[in-house]
Amino acid sequence: MNRFLLFAAAVCTTVHGQIGKPCFANETAMEVFQEVSLSGKVALITGADKGIGLEIAKALAARGATVIPGCRKSEELTETEALIKKAVPNAKVFLPSALLDLSSFKMVRDFVQGLQQFPTIDILVNDAGLANNPHQVVTHDGFELAFQIDYPSQWLLTYLLMPQIRKGKGRVVNLVSKAYRMACPMAKRFQCMELENLPPPVITGSQKVPILGIPVSNYGIARLLMIRWTEDLARRETLAGTGVSVTSVNPGFVNTSMADRHNLSPLFLKLACTTEGRQGAPCPTLPSQGALTPAFLSLSPESKIPNGKFYEWCEPAPVDLCLDVLDGPWIPTECTGGDQKYQEGLWNLTAKWVKNFTAPLEQRVHGSPTIIL
């Protein structure tokens, strides 16, 4: 317990407590930048069938965007369309011809192939995620299920969409989590972020993280990798002069299936609210409030969004105070991967994992997208 108290004390004394303007506590995605028009713009949101993703989809539809929900099941697509149109009766929703199952690189590629009729993708929100893998599933591609969903499949999705995103000088918003700080303790692996130790293996059995009492998972590893990939992709796009904006965002501690109280100990709940809560906002927040910062990043004037930054509550925040220990005090240290050498190595490694699925896509010359009105 003393190890955890040391860590908690260090974290809580350096909490990033700001709420960036024009955001405020209890504000929802529907309320921020109401005057912004996305008419003629196309927004793709993964995980749009529920929780934060659904709230982001509603908010962008309310500004006039054509919303493409990325869903794993056909019934989720039709249900998502109905939920968006219930909130925004005049919403423009495009139901893709292929499902988006992030546990399969092939299905990711097939999904993007089905969107080639769109000249541009103006906003991509990578919201989908999986907290843990209780049944120890290994995907057809050979990766631990949660890890593949939470990082390399999202890398591949974005890579394949990038020609369309560049044509629209678009935005990529990657949802991550404060779990990045606990990547190695959550996985019960020392030096879990070193490139030679990636990808992480399947976690066997029903293990719990010591002291925290939460299921052992590769979720934190994937979240920190997403942050480092975001930084690297932003640097690459800036150097290429494409005009593409890439950011990562911690939506806060949100009352969704990802924050299932059956998987979270009282101690973890207390720490999560201490480090991620903001004065005047409930903890956990509602999904509509968790969608606030992703919507802010999707809608804010481009000049206001520094490229490659990690955001919390509509403000850039530091990526720091990570743990990487087996024994001894849980004292936060510098988070792995903040340098260009690491990030280039990560890019090359990830590209190797997905290399069989990155060939140029077939371009659609005839036909136009069917938008459900």
- Residues pairing with 81 in the sheet: none
Can you tell me the distance from the alpha carbon of 100 to that of 124, in angstroms, rounded to the nearest whole number?
Answer: 14
In a domain, 360, yes or no: no
Can you tell me the distance from the alpha carbon of 50 to that of 286, in angstroms, rounded to the nearest whole number?
Answer: 12
pLDDT value, residue 372:
40
In a domain, 302, yes or no: yes
In a domain, 364, yes or no: no
CA terminus-to-terminus distance, the chain: 56
pLDDT value, residue 273:
80
Can you tell me the distance from the alpha carbon of 305 to that of 103, in angstroms, rounded to the nearest whole number?
Answer: 31
Expressed as residue numbers, the domain containing 342 is 2-353
Tell me, letter by letter, the H, E, C secondary structure of the chain: CHHHHHHHHHHHCCCCCCCCCCCCCCCCCCCCCCCCCCCCCEEEEECCCCHHHHHHHHHHHHCCCEEEEECCCHHHHHHHHHHHHHHCCCCEECCCCCCCCCCCHHHHHHHHHCCCCCCCCCEEEECCCCCCCCCCCECCCCCEHHHHHHCHHHHHHHHHHHHHHHHCCCEEEEECCHHHHHHHHHHCCCCCCCHHHCCCCCCCCCCECCCCCCECCCHHHHHHHHHHHHHHHHHHHHHHCCCCEEEEEECCCECCHHHCHHHCCHHHHHHHHHHHCCCCCCCCECHHHHCHHHHHHHHCCHHHCCCCCEEECCEECCCCCECCCCCCCCCCECCCCCCHHHHHHHHHHHHHHCHHHCCCCCCCCCCCCCCEC
Task: List the structure tokens of 229.
Answer: 């990939």
In a domain, 371, yes or no: no
In a domain, 83, yes or no: yes
pTM comes to 0.92
Can you tell me the distance from the alpha carbon of 178 to that of 173, in angstroms, rounded to the nearest whole number?
Answer: 16
Can you tell me the distance from the alpha carbon of 324 to that of 336, in angstroms, rounded to the nearest whole number?
Answer: 9
pLDDT value, residue 87:
98
Looking at residue 79, which CATH number applies to its domain? 3.40.50.720
CA dihedral 283, 289, 295, 301 (to 10 degrees): -80
Could you report the per-residue pLDDT of 116-141, keeping only the tens digit for each?
Answer: 999 999 999 999 999 888 889 999 99
In a domain, 237, yes or no: yes
For the chain, residues with pLDDT lower than 70 are 1-17, 257-264, 325-330, 364-373
- Is residue 98 within 8 Å of 66, Cβ to Cβ? no
Q: Total domain count for the chain?
A: 1
In a domain, 367, yes or no: no
Give the closest residue to 297 by CA, choosing from 311, 276, 286. 311
In a domain, 368, yes or no: no
